[in-house]
C-alpha cells in the first residue's frame, strides 16, 4: 500500500512539472508582465486559427443565404448580416478577434434574384495568434480562401475579381481556391 501511495505521489509531482513546463506558465494564467502563460502555450495558435476559420465558414453560409434573398453579393450590409446571425459581428472596418468579420462588398448587377448573382464579397477575420483568415466569393466563381500572418488587425480587401494564388506571408495574402492555405 505504501508503494502505491508513493507511486501516485511521484506521478502527481511529475505531472505538475510537465504541465508547468509545457504551458510555459509555471502555474500562472498568463497575467505576468513577462508574457508567458496559456496564450503562448503549444497548440493555442492552432486552436484560435480553427476558431477563426469556423467563424469565417459560418459567415460565408450567412452571406450566401443573405445574397440569395437580396439579389446578389453587392447589396449586402454588415448590420443586416449581424442581425441575421447574432453570433458573429460583421463590420466594414477591421477585425481584431475571431468573432468579428471584416466585410468588403463590390457591387454588381442584381441579376434578377437567384443564388446571389451580382457582385462579390471578401471576408476577413483575425485569430488571436495574429493570422488573418480570408474568403472571397462571387456568383460566377468558386470560393477562394486566404491567409496572412502576424497582423494586428484584418481588413477585408475590396476585390472585384478572383484573387491570384500565392504563398502566405506577413507582407501579403496567400490565396488558394477551394480550401484554406497552409501556413
**Residues of the chain above pLDDT 70, percent:** 79
51, 134: one domain: yes
CA 126 – CA 148 distance, rounded (Å): 9
**Residues of the chain above pLDDT 90, percent:** 55
| Average pLDDT taken over every residue of the chain | 83
9, 78: one domain: no
Strand segments, DSSP code E, in 68-143 are: 89-91, 100-106, 120-126, 132-138
How many structural domains does the chain have? 2
Which residue in the block uniquely carries the three cell numbers 502505491? Answer: 4
CA 8 – CA 15 distance, rounded (Å): 10
81, 107: one domain: yes
- Domain with 89, as residue range(s), is 45-177
In tens, the pLDDT along 39-61 reads: 556 677 788 889 999 999 999 99
Quick one: CA dihedral 85, 158, 122, 101, positive or negative?
A: negative
In a domain, 182, yes or no: no
68, 1: one domain: no
At residue 41, what are phi and psi to the nearest 5 degrees?
A: -70, 155
In a domain, 116, yes or no: yes
17, 98: one domain: no
Q: What per-residue confidence (pLDDT) applies to 33?
A: 40
123, 88: one domain: yes
pLDDT higher than threshold 80 for residue 19: no
In tens, the pLDDT along 72-130 reads: 898 899 999 999 999 999 999 999 999 999 999 998 654 443 344 588 999 999 998 89
Amino acid at each position: 500500500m505504501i508503494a502505491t501511495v508513493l507511486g501516485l505521489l511521484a506521478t502527481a509531482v511529475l505531472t505538475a512539472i510537465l504541465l508547468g513546463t509545457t504551458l510555459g506558465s509555471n502555474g500562472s494564467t498568463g497575467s505576468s508582465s513577462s508574457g508567458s502563460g496559456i496564450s503562448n502555450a503549444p497548440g493555442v495558435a492552432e486552436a484560435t486559427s480553427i476558431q477563426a476559420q469556423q467563424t469565417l465558414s459560418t459567415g460565408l453560409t450567412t452571406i450566401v443565404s443573405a445574397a440569395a434573398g437580396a439579389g446578389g453579393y453587392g447589396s449586402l450590409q454588415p448590420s443586416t448580416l449581424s442581425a441575421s446571425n447574432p453570433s458573429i459581428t460583421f463590420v466594414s472596418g477591421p477585425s481584431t478577434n475571431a468573432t468579428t468579420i471584416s466585410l468588403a462588398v463590390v457591387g454588381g448587377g442584381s441579376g434578377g434574384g437567384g443564388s446571389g448573382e451580382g457582385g462579390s464579397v471578401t471576408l476577413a477575420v483575425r485569430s488571436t495568434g495574429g493570422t488573418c483568415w480570408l474568403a472571397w466569393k462571387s456568383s460566377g466563381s468558386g470560393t477562394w480562401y486566404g491567409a496572412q500572418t502576424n497582423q494586428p488587425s484584418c481588413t477585408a480587401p475590396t476585390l472585384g475579381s478572383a484573387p491570384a494564388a500565392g504563398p502566405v506571408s506577413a507582407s501579403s495574402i496567400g490565396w488558394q481556391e477551394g480550401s484554406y492555405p497552409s501556413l
